[in-house]
Each structure stands twice: as C-alpha cells, then as structure tokens.
C-alpha cells in the first residue's frame, strides 16, 4: 500500500519587467536583424505547493510585431522522503524516487524527470523499532535550465495577462522488497521563471522598393534597388546604422524624370568613414509628395571582410513562369541565361543583349517542377559567370 502526500502553502512571487536593447540572434526579424528582447521574471519563494500558476503580462502589439516567445525555467527542488514497513516481516527494500516537473503555457511545454535510488535498507516489522526510515533532505531537482519557445502566438498579444502552470508529480516505488510499505514525500521548490518576448519594429515595408542589393568594392559600398514611380517627386533616402537600431541619413536620390508607373533602377555609393568598422546596416526610405514613408528590407555589409564579388539576384523567388534578373552592377554585352538543375541539366536557355543596364528578364516556357535550381548568367565575351539559387514550389 502506498500513500503520497504533497504539503502546500501559498506562492509568494514578485514580477519584474525588464526592457533592454540586447539582441538575441536566435530570433530574427523579417529584415534579417536580431529581434529585441523584453524579459519578465517571476521569483518563486520556497514552497511545498504541488501546483502553481504564473501570470505574465501580455505583449502590447502597439510596441511592435511579436516574433518569438521563450520561457526559461530554473526551478530547483529539495525532497524529504519518509518510508514505513507495513509488513509483518523484516524486509530489505530498494526504493526509487521519481519526480516530474512540468511547466506549460500557450505553445510551450517544458518537462524534467528526476530519479533517485535509495537502499538497500532493512526495515523492522511493522510496529517494531526501526520500521521507518527517512531519506533526505536531498537536492533531487538540480540545474534544470529548461527552455521552451514558440512563434508569435496570439495568446501572448494584448493588454491583459497570460498564464503558465507548474506541476510536480511522482512518487516512490520499490525496485526490490515488495509492496508492503507506505511513504510520504515533501518537496520544497524555488527558483525563477523568465518569459522573454522578442519583437521587431512595426516598420512599413514598401512593395514599391524591390531588388535591394549591396556589396563592397574598392573601399566603397554600392547600393542598388528598383523603385516603382507611381507619383512624381518621389525621394529615396539612404539610411545607415552601426547597430541596426539607430539610423542616420547617408544621402538622397530623387526619382528623377522616370515616367509615372514605370520601374527604374537606382544606385548610390557610400564611402565609409574612419568610424565605420565591422557590420554596417543599410535601408532605403521612400518618401512620396504626401509624406507617406515606406522602407526597404535591411541589408548589412562587413567592412572587415574581403571585397564581395558582384553577383545577381532574381525575383520573385520562388519563381513561377517569369523571372526578373538583376545584376549587382550595370552590364554591357551579350549574356546567356540558363536555368540549371542541381544535376547540371540545362532546363531552359535564353540569350540577351545588355547595354548599360543591370536588369533583364527570362520567360520560362513552363513552370519548373518543385525543387531547387540555379540561374546561371554567362558573359559570352569575357567568360564571366554569375550564379544564384532558384526555388520552385
């Protein structure tokens, strides 16, 4: 016969809201930059409660876009186990104590299982001196350091609260000696629960800015992009940052006299200063005559690396039947465009002539089968090759 008892008292916890600008690489914004972390920490005072509820504040969506959620569990426990022989005979027992910690909330579950072996210990017959034994206190729940994560779950959004539950379960069993015993287990737990929100700025990304590329050559940084000129007097501002958070204007490029409704290619040369070291980030800010602002995605370049070889990119990617191809530099000459499978088979080929432009297109006769391909552009006069990956869904 077995009896298991958990003695409970109230949880005394304090919640601290900490906002900091540390960036965590494990959760990225759509721009490719690390998301910003906001922590909430609950400190658990020592308690023998077997179930607890933790209440955290939801993430205010007015701050930005919630990208990821992470929960860190560092709860530890100390157990005292009392055992009594209920049989008529002196018995040598071998016991196993098993405790399971479980923390659960929306989209996150963390489980830890702990085992401890006791014995062999000989207990006298029931009612005789020496018919009981106490094990502990023992630090059975040690260094859990559990981590659970989820995406931008809607349950964490709002101005209210979100709950996590903690439960400890388990008991004592005999591995040898029979089942004539009873037991009581008291486990004191304590520790910290930390919920982290990773969020990204709610920046409007403009579909009117596409094909944004950046590369370093001969000590300068070249930026190129395509802009849809749906109005006159559009201005493009080039913004740069040394940390991906604080932005400064590096220069401006007017849309010029491109006809309304057309797509034009723009370029900008940035000359790094002596204070520009390591990673430097860039984005394009588009301002129309009414003052509406949209941004491109963020691109980065490492000033300590070797000059980057100019290449090509395509869009849309995944592709359908038509590919727009953009070189990182303006090209002049005859080029062969080839869609190549991963086995080297040329699926389709087209020759184009470029004259001082970095943009061309390739119409496919049919949609490629789902898989990975490569777009290879060959400068026929100089035998230069450009290669980029193509995805077909």
Q: What is the per-residue pLDDT across 217-229, written as a single tens digit (0 to 9) for each?
A: 777 888 888 787 6
Instruction: State the average pLDDT over residues 95-100.
Output: 93
Which has more pLDDT, 145 or 91?
91
Residue 13 has pLDDT above 50, yes or no: no
Evaluate if residue 216 carries a pLDDT over 60.
yes
- Which pLDDT does position 92 carry in this prediction? 96
- Find the range with the poorest average confidence among 6-10, 28-32, 361-365: 6-10
Give me the CATH code for the 209-302 domain, please: 2.60.40.10
Asked whether the predicted pLDDT for residue 307 surpasses 50, the reply is yes
Answer yes or no: is pLDDT of 22 > 50. no
Q: Which residue has the higher pLDDT, 249 or 304?
A: 249
Domain boundaries, the chain: 13-200, 209-302, 312-392
Q: Which of 107-116, 159-168, 183-192, 241-250 has the lowest mean pLDDT?
A: 241-250
Out of 71-75, 208-212, 288-292, pick the least confident: 208-212
pLDDT digit string, tens, across residues 313-355:
787 778 888 888 888 777 889 999 999 887 778 899 999 999 8
pLDDT confidence bin for 204, thresholds 50/70/90: low
pLDDT of residue 44 exceeding 60? yes
Least confident of 83-92, 160-169, 242-251: 242-251
Computed over every residue of the chain, the mean pLDDT equals 81
- Residue 239 pLDDT greater than 70, yes or no: yes
pLDDT band at 260 (very low <50, low <70, confident <90, very high): low
Query: Which whole number is the average pLDDT over 9-27?
Result: 38
Do the first three CATH levels of 209-302 and 312-392 match, i.e. the same topology?
yes
Is the confidence at residue 35, as pLDDT, over 60? yes
| Residue range 13-31: mean pLDDT, rounded | 45
Taking residues 360-376, what's their average pLDDT? 88
Which residue from 349, 391, 347 is spatially nearest to 370, judged by alpha carbons?
391
Assigned CATH topology for domain 312-392: Immunoglobulin-like (2.60.40)
Which pLDDT value is given to residue 276?
80
388 against 149, higher pLDDT? 388
Percentage above 70 pLDDT, the chain: 83
pLDDT score, position 259: 62
Mean pLDDT of all residues in 180-207: 84
User: How much is the pLDDT for 245?
Assistant: 63
Across 2-8, average pLDDT: 34
pLDDT at 84 > cutoff 90: yes
Looking at residues 42-53, what average pLDDT do you find? 90
pLDDT tens column, 138-190: 887 776 666 777 766 778 887 888 999 999 999 999 999 999 999 999 999 88
Q: Given a cut of 60, is residue 294 above it in pLDDT?
A: yes
Give me the pLDDT at residue 25, please: 39
Over 70: is that where the pLDDT of 205 sits? no
Percent of the chain scoring above 90 in pLDDT = 27
């Amino acid at each position: 016969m077995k009896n298991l008892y958990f003695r409970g008292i109230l949880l005394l916890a304090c919640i601290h809201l900490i906002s900091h600008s540390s960036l965590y690489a494990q959760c990225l914004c759509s721009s490719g930059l690390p998301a910003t972390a906001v922590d909430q920490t609950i400190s658990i005072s020592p308690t023998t409660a077997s179930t607890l509820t933790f209440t955290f504040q939801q993430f205010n969506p007015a701050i930005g876009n919630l990208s990821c959620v992470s929960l860190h569990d560092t709860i530890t426990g100390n157990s005292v186990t009392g055992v009594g022989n209920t049989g008529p005979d002196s018995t040598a027992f071998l016991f196993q104590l098993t405790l399971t910690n479980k923390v659960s909330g929306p989209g996150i579950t963390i489980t830890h299982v702990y085992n401890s072996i006791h014995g062999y210990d000989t207990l006298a017959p029931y009612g005789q001196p020496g018919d009981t034994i106490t094990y502990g206190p023992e630090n059975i729940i040690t260094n859990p350091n559990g981590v659970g994560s989820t995406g931008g779950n809607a349950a964490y959004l709002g101005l209210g609260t979100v709950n996590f539950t903690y439960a400890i379960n388990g008991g004592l069993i005999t591995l040898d000696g029979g089942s004539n015993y009873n037991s009581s287990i008291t486990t004191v737990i304590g520790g910290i629960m930390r919920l982290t929100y990773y969020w990204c700025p709610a920046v409007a990304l403009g579909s009117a800015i596409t094909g944004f590329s950046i590369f370093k050559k001969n000590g300068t940084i070249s930026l190129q992009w395509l802009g849809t000129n749906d109005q006159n007097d559009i201005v493009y501002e080039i913004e740069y940052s040394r940390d991906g958070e604080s932005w400064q204007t590096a220069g401006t490029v007017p849309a010029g006299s491109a006809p309304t409704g057309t797509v034009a290619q723009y370029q900008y040369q940035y000359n790094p200063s002596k204070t520009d070291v390591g990673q430097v980030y860039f984005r394009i800010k588009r301002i129309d005559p009414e003052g509406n602002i949209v941004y491109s995605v963020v691109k980065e370049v490492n000033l300590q690396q070797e000059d980057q070889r100019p290449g090509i990119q395509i869009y849309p990617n995944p592709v359908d039947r038509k590919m727009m191809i953009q070189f990182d530099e303006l090209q002049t000459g005859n080029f062969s465009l080839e869609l190549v499978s991963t086995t080297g088979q040329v699926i389709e080929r087209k020759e184009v002539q470029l004259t001082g432009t970095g943009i061309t297109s390739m119409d496919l006769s049919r949609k490629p089968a789902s898989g990975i391909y490569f777009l290879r552009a060959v400068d026929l006069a100089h035998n230069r090759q450009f290669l980029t990956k193509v995805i077909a869904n």
